[in-house]
Structure 1
């Protein structure tokens, strides 16, 4: 037998032994554990971050109010904010699928719509026609929104969702669209999936 043949034969057991000792099962197991741990750590990090999923952190001038009452009542409610952005309310919601109302609404019905995920756009009477038309265009093209005048409003325009509100000087303010994107059926909604029609259809 040649020297090269003897060397080849001598290597065979060593190669076979090396293959038998590679712990592929353990490698796969620990790789899986590492992957699971990475996902878990990433999830925990996302949960620990300050919540801005509802757009609150990115919209300048946002007013936020949490822990609002949600009881039904047929009596008038003395709301802390004007217009209100949540609280106890009438059992009938105001129809709000892209509705434009020409006269003021009853607060207690409008607040119920906010509970369902609607955004209520209000404006001070006397708002310039071009601005009012811009607001109407936003509402008529967007479900779960409604528009009405609000005589005691202390700003030209206000957008209200459940526990969220912003007041604006001009309908062209980009924050109006940001608010709509963030809060129409947004994460602040106490009753997601609840309807926005089939209830009160008049002011």
Structure 2
């Protein structure tokens, strides 16, 4: 008899799959026809904040321009500043002593405009006062005795914007007064006690130098005699005396002073 054949090892267990078709190991996932795909990844492009960069650059440029402008202005101001009277080109100095006589009669001054000498007992207001009349000279001299700078201009040569420019230098600045001066031999003339400067233009930088340096400056040689005296006379502002007017009691007056030998004239001018 023929021996029974042993069953094939590959058939044992009936239903076992052929190679490659056997049972899945535990935990293994079942494959699909195409396999599982990942969702598409979103690619984010990092854009540069050009608006912020431009704004920052603009701020830096503006700041640099502002600093440069400030430096230039400071340097210009330093260049304009003077520390001694002889640094102002063209200035003349005189020798009127303190104690000049108070008079009510007209005075024939050696200088035009005058820079010192006998004067009226009433001073013209010099609290940064801009006059539109040729203020009486004897009263203006008294203002200079109190430390004021008197800026006079020729109304035939200086008008409009030039007068405005001079007014800005005077208006509201205590110790200064501005007025037209009929027959002036220069466009503008600046006076303080014992000092004078004449210029041909209202925009001459020496005008501001003179005013800044000599207003109430008691340390200059030959400076004004009455340190601490008042410049206020509101009555004179309301009713200013004009060149050629007789003396009149308009506001306060100083007590009479004793004349000195220098009161009868001045020394020859010396250019500093």
The TM-score with structure 1 as length reference comes to: 0.71
Over alpha carbons, which structure has the higher Rg? 2
Structure 1, residues 134-187: CA drift from partner, whole Å, max 9, x if none? 000000142110111001100000110000000111121111111012110012
Give the stretch that moved more between structures: 63-72 or 135-144. 63-72
Q: Distance in 1 between matches of 2:119 and 2:172?
A: 27
- 5+ residue gaps, structure 2, are 1-81, 242-272
2:88 is the alignment partner of 1:59: yes
2:178 is the alignment partner of 1:136: no
Question: Does the CA-based 8 Å contact 1:105-1:148 persist in structure 2?
Answer: yes
Cα distance, 1:70 vs. partner?
1.1
The SS at the match of 1:200 is helix
Question: Does the CA-based 8 Å contact 2:129-2:172 persist in structure 1?
Answer: no
The SS at the match of 2:236 is coil
2:208 alignment partner, one of 163, 174, 177: 177
Q: Which residue of 1 aligns with 2:236?
A: 200
2:176 alignment partner, one of 122, 145, 167: 145
How many residues are treated as equivalent by the alignment? 151
2:126 is the alignment partner of 1:96: yes
Determine which structure has the larger helix proportion and give its number.
1
The SS at the match of 1:159 is strand
Question: Does the CA-based 8 Å contact 2:127-2:172 persist in structure 1?
Answer: no
Q: Give the RMSD, CA atoms, in angstroms.
A: 1.6
Question: Does the CA-based 8 Å contact 1:54-1:186 persist in structure 2?
Answer: no
The TM-score with structure 2 as length reference comes to: 0.53
Question: Does the CA-based 8 Å contact 1:55-1:179 persist in structure 2?
Answer: no
Cα distance, 1:200 vs. partner?
2.8
1:83 alignment partner, one of 108, 113, 131: 113
Rate the CA distance shift 1:124–1:90 in 2: closer, same or farther, 3 A: same
Matches for 1:3-152 after TM superposition, within 5 Å: 55-68=84-97, 70-126=100-156, 127-152=158-183
Q: Distance in 2 between matches of 1:55 and 1:90?
A: 31
Q: Distance in 2 between matches of 1:54 and 1:66?
A: 21
- 5+ residue gaps, structure 1, are 1-52
Question: Does the CA-based 8 Å contact 1:54-1:183 persist in structure 2?
Answer: no
Structure 1, residues 85-141: CA drift from partner, whole Å, max 9, x if none? 111000000001011111111110000000000000100013131111100000014
Q: Which residue of 1 aligns with 2:194?
A: 163
